[in-house]
Structures are given as structure tokens and as C-alpha cells.
Amino acid sequence: MVIKLMLQYVIGCSFLFSGLSCLVDHDEDDRLMKITSLPAELNECSGMATLKDGYYVALNDSNNPAELYVFNLEKESRLKAVSVANAKNVDWEELAEDDTYVYIGDFGNNNGNRRNLRIYKVAKQDLMSADEVSAEIINFNYPQQLNFDHSNSTNFDCEAMVCIGDSLYLMTKNHGNLKTNLYCLSNKPGKYAAKLLGEYDAKGLVTGADYRNTGGRKELVLVGYTSKAFGYHPFVIYFNDVTGSDFFDSAASRIQLNGRLQIESVLFDDRLNLLISSEGKKKKDRNIYRCLLPNVPF
């Protein structure tokens, strides 16, 4: 019944920005429904956030311009590129948000040798009204990282971040032990040593996160994948009732999705669903999906 209602919703829509069409397509997993392809400009979509009036903003990762892309899933509209004038895309990997700002995580660190980790803070209102914006800058480091030699097994890569109150919470992508470490720092401009708060055995590489507070319950979701050897094997980890910043002390539900998707970002969509993006050089690989939460039966 849930799937039928979701299909009716998607079929009844008329969207998107230039070059996109309304699509309804089941991936190999019944929890996933493809709702649109992403345009060529977002071939390496690694983060998404919400704006207002049904608009979203997304970014590409390394070796791409320092630009954010604004689009709408419910109206015919063109993709708008917004340049961040005082920023460089060393390796942008995540977008977090609060009511007023988006936070660009320039902290991709696959080889563990970066010493210039930073987060750019941009006003949402500026993204809606301008083609070029300036960002406030938050610089940080991990005090636990003492070795900056090139490594394929670093535990100081990061692709997941959420904003809660006046703090940013980073969840690392640990190539070495396949866990994720939780770090905290201020969301105000400045230079900080990120504070280590905890660790969770993700059993894979965490590539995105989102958080919401519905008033009665605080929820956290992580996405990622477990292997690239024979294609990506994506997963979703859902903490349905977190307390304070002790996210990993809460009970979690996990699902391993059957599709071979390089999942890179996630947003809470509605009470039952997530929005998940996948990246890829080919059009068939870069999509936005609607995904049932792990605790929703189907």
C-alpha cells in the first residue's frame, strides 16, 4: 500500500529543471524509487540541502568549480549555478544546513594528507537571489591525526556532516577500520580543533548524513557503501531517537540495499521517506531516489 501511494504521488508530479523528465523506476531494491536523473552539471553530486519553496541546492566534489546548484523537483525550472567567489573546491563532499545557512564541507581527504580542511558557510537567501556569493570560513583539524603521509587506509576522510544548534557534527569515512568517528566543532567562522565524541561500527564507508528534530523525536540517518570491488553496495543506517549529541548511543536500524549505487548524499523527505542521490559519469548512474526509512515495512 505504501509503495502504491508513493507511485501515485510520483506519477502525478510534473517537474524538473532543464533536461530532466518525470521518471518512475524501481531499482533492484523495492525500497528505492528513482524519481529523476541529475543533469551533466551534477555528475559528481556529493551533497544536497533544502532551501525554500521546494528548492534544493547541491554540489559536486573535487576537480569541479566552486559552485552550488539550485533546482526544484516540483516545477519546471532551469538549473542555476551559483559561484562561491572566495572558495576553492579542493574536495567538497557534503552540504549541511540550518534555517539560515548551508555549510559546504571541504573536507574530503581520501589520502589522509590534507592540512587545509575547511567548511564554507553561505546564506540560503543569497543562493536564492544571486549568481555569486561570498562565504564565511571555518578552518579545522583533527587533533588525533599525527601522521599526514599518503595513505589508502586513513581514518581521517569525511563526507558526512549535520548542523544542530551552534555546532557542526562530522562523521568520518574510515578507510582503515570501516567505522565512523563523530567529531564536533562550532559553526561560527574561526579555526578549531574538532572534538572527538564517539565511534560507531558502520561496517562500511559513510558518505552522507542528515538530522531532523520533529519536536517529539530527533532522528539521524547515515548512508554509504560497503565495497567497490565488484560495484558499490549501498546501505542506510537510521537512528530513530537520538539524545543530545550522543548519536551513537541510540538504537539503530540498518538496511543493505541491493542496487549497485554510489550513494553520496541523503535528506529526510517526509515521515516515511528519504531522498538519496547517487553519482556517476554516465547519466544512468546519477539520480535522485526516494527511499523508505529502514523501520517502515514494505
Q: Which of 18, 13, 32 is nearest to 290 (CA)?
A: 32
Task: For 60, list phi and psi in degrees, rounded to 5.
Answer: -100, 160
Q: What is the pLDDT of residues 165-199, one digit of tens each?
A: 999 999 999 999 999 999 999 999 999 999 999 99
Higher pLDDT: 258 or 133? It is 133
The arithmetic mean of pLDDT across residues 28-44, rounded, is 81
pTM of the model: 0.89
Q: How far is CA 42 from CA 67, 106, 166, 227, in A?
A: 10, 17, 30, 23
Which residue shows C-alpha cell 551533466? 40
- pLDDT, average across residues 70-94: 89
* d(C-alpha 94, C-alpha 61), whole Å: 8
Neighbouring C-beta atoms of residue 217, cutoff 10 Å: 10
Q: CB-based contacts of 282: which residues, under 8 Å, 6+ apart?
A: none
Residue 211: name the closest of 182, 240, 254, 188 by CA. 240
Write the CATH number of the domain with boundaries 2-292.
2.120.10
Q: Read off the pLDDT band of 161 (50, 70, 90).
A: very high
